[in-house]
Amino acid sequence: MIELSQARTQRLLAVHGWSGTVLGLFLYVVVLTGTIAVLAHEIGAWSAGGQTLDEPFSVPVDTLIREQVESSNEAWREEIGIFGSVSGNIRIWMHEHATNPESGNTEDYGRLVEINPVSGDVVNDVEGWSGEVFGNNPISALEDFIVELHVNLHLPHPWGLYATGILGFIMLLAAVTGLLIHRHLIREAFLAPRLKGALLTKRDRHVLAGTWSLVFAFVLAFTGAFFSFAISLALPVVAATGFDGDQEAVIETLLGVPVPEDTTAVELANLDEMAATVKGEAYSGVAGYSVSNWGRADARVVVNTYPAEGSMSGKQYSFEGATGHFLGEKALVGTAPSVGGAALALMGPLHFGSFAGLLSKFVWVALGIAMTYVTYTGMQLWVQRRSDEPLWRGFGHWLMIVGIGTPFALTLCAHTFFAALGGGGDAYAWTAWGFVGASAFALLLGVILQKRTVAAENLLIWGLAFLLATLPLTRLLSGGTGWPSAIQNGDLVIVGMDVLMLVSAFFVALWRSSILRKLVTQAGLPIVERSTAT
């Protein structure tokens, strides 16, 4: 039990409420999209209609990669990233560092090739600046849209990162103040339902969900703020004070000491043989390769692996490119294993929930839903306590419009995305327009039904349930893979995502349908009281 004076508790309560309310709507959008983005990889595989291979590097790939690299511009052999795509193909990003005349900044320019590792066919081949080539794979349009909304709120760089960084700080503050003001943490974690029609009150539900997701909220807010500010603020600041403003020098220090230059032409050793060497180590499957100075005496190859059983992050193994000589395990950050490097390497798995495959992802999604609920009900409580004031009543109306309008718009943009994929339209544009159109519809509904909040809420909820239930159908009608062939090919993620949509539609409908609620109650299952708009 945490003891605080009454004045301090009141102060913390005010900060907890105001911090969650002033920027709460934006925080809600970031938390909701973050919860969905945990499944970004699965959304990608679902969009792609199946994967060529679950692990694209489980077959010999050296010849395929060598063919592409050695037929490309020689300057692009400076840095080559080789990794798997959402479709289970291999992507080769051959590039050099050059000054972009448009931005005036040093950026990566080169060619991105996607190859089917089984047939060897080139699936996609584009040339340009990194920002352009990575934003043009139609299959990734939905996944990219959701991730971009979560990371940048679709604001230009670096303003989007500043915005989400500040939201991360707000969430961190809400979590810490929440921890201190809820003095009976253990008791609140096992809160007994108050007998109000055998249902929990709205405040109790907020406290219950908040208590269980408190540690999670702290971890997410901390790692989220770290990711937003690390690139946009910390890197330039640390570079300015410690490295005479040289950001490249900071990155080189983080990645390890560069190899002394030797431009003598030497053929690169076999990549498959390097993968075979790695198999002798704590092997968990090759996730990709990074090659610097391909075809030169100073070439270095780093083999990246997936996280091994019981490990939070993958490993890196270093090889001399010219000889294929195994140099041993490479620290993920820095020149040797260190506490700082290990702590930095933990940030990703902790934020993305990717450290134990689908199991940890499902836990992260469940806790993410709890966090979304806490953010939303926190604002509802704040408004409800001030419902005498017209301004706060109005805010309550728009809170509902944004609260239900956001998942409504995200689901509609998934429909327009699949329609564009099937119809050959620009998937990026159609996804964005689907979201904008649905948001505009929700806002218009909010204006038209300004005095009838419950009616607007009902329309949006039923609309959301309908869109979720019909999404698998839209996917199928757009030429997506059917369940029989998905099961036959072992692409269970397609079936899983479709079922997830149908189950979500059922729960959204359950929230509003008195008939469904009666059926569930008769079956003896517990049911949560539906909220009414404030």
Chain residues that interact with other proteins, rule: CB under 8 A: 4, 7-8, 11-12, 15, 168-169, 172-173, 176-177, 221-222, 225-226, 229-230, 233-235, 237-238, 240-242, 244-245, 250, 253-254, 331, 333-341, 343-344, 347
Instruction: Select 44 or 224, whichever has its Cβ closest to other proteins.
Output: 224
Residue 218: CB minimum distance to other proteins, A: 9
Contact 502, 534 (CB under 8 A): no
Instruction: Select 161 or 456, whichever has its Cβ closest to other proteins.
Output: 161
Residue 375: CB minimum distance to other proteins, A: 18
Question: In whole angstroms, what is the distance from residue 494 CA to residue 491 CA?
Answer: 6
Count the Cβ atoms, other than its own, within 10 Å of residue 63: 12
Question: In whole angstroms, what is the distance from residue 190 CA to residue 186 CA?
Answer: 7
Residue 180: CB minimum distance to other proteins, A: 8
Residue 163: CB minimum distance to other proteins, A: 14
Instruction: Select 7 or 186, whichever has its Cβ closest to other proteins.
Output: 7
Structure tokens at 464: 């959301």
Cis peptide before 158 (omega within 30 of 0): yes
Q: Cα separations (Å) of 64 from 70, 111, 277, 448?
A: 10, 15, 20, 59
Instruction: Select 344 or 443, whichever has its Cβ closest to other proteins.
Output: 344
Instruction: Select 10 or 63, whichever has its Cβ closest to other proteins.
Output: 10
Residue 5: CB minimum distance to other proteins, A: 8
Instruction: Select 259 or 269, whichever has its Cβ closest to other proteins.
Output: 259
Structure tokens at 33: 């999209």
Instruction: Select 272 or 329, whichever has its Cβ closest to other proteins.
Output: 329
Instruction: Select 337 or 423, whichever has its Cβ closest to other proteins.
Output: 337
* Helix-strand-coil split of the chain, %, nearest 5: 60, 10, 30
Residue 32: CB minimum distance to other proteins, A: 21
Contact 297, 264 (CB under 8 A): yes
Structure tokens at 226: 């770290």
Number of H helices, E strands in the chain: 21, 8
Question: By C-alpha distance, which of 475, 439, 367, 444 is closest to 153?
Answer: 439
Residue 304: CB minimum distance to other proteins, A: 18
Instruction: Select 375 or 411, whichever has its Cβ closest to other proteins.
Output: 375
Residue 8: CB minimum distance to other proteins, A: 6
| Beta pairing partners, 115 | 90, 122
Report residue 135: phi and psi, to 5°: -110, 30
Residue 316: CB minimum distance to other proteins, A: 13
- Vertex 9: Cα angle to 8 and 15 (nearest 5): 90
Question: By C-alpha distance, which of 442, 447, 461 is closest to 530?
Answer: 461
Residue 11: CB minimum distance to other proteins, A: 6
Instruction: Select 91 or 300, whichever has its Cβ closest to other proteins.
Output: 300
Instruction: Select 19 or 534, whichever has its Cβ closest to other proteins.
Output: 19
Instruction: Select 179 or 322, whichever has its Cβ closest to other proteins.
Output: 179
Instruction: Select 45 or 179, whichever has its Cβ closest to other proteins.
Output: 179
Residue 224: CB minimum distance to other proteins, A: 9
Q: What is the DSSP string of 435-462?
A: HHHHHHHHHHHHHHTTT-HHHHHHHHHH
Which residue in the block uniquely carries the two structure tokens 């291999």?
90
Residue 333: CB minimum distance to other proteins, A: 5
Contact 108, 97 (CB under 8 A): yes
Question: In whole angstroms, what is the distance from residue 248 CA to residue 528 CA?
Answer: 54
Instruction: Select 323 or 338, whichever has its Cβ closest to other proteins.
Output: 338
Q: What is the DSSP string of 96-163?
A: EEEE-TTT-SEEEEEEEEEE-TTT--EEEEEEEEHHHHTT--GGGHHHHHHHHHHHHTTPPTTHHHHH
Structure tokens at 87: 């479709």
Question: In whole angstroms, what is the distance from residue 203 CA to residue 331 CA?
Answer: 47
End-to-end CA separation in angstroms for the chain: 33
CA atoms within 13 A on the CB side of 232: 19
Residue 349: CB minimum distance to other proteins, A: 15
Question: In whole angstroms, what is the distance from residue 464 CA to residue 508 CA?
Answer: 7
Report residue 115: phi and psi, to 5°: -120, 145
Residue 500: CB minimum distance to other proteins, A: 32
Contact 497, 474 (CB under 8 A): no
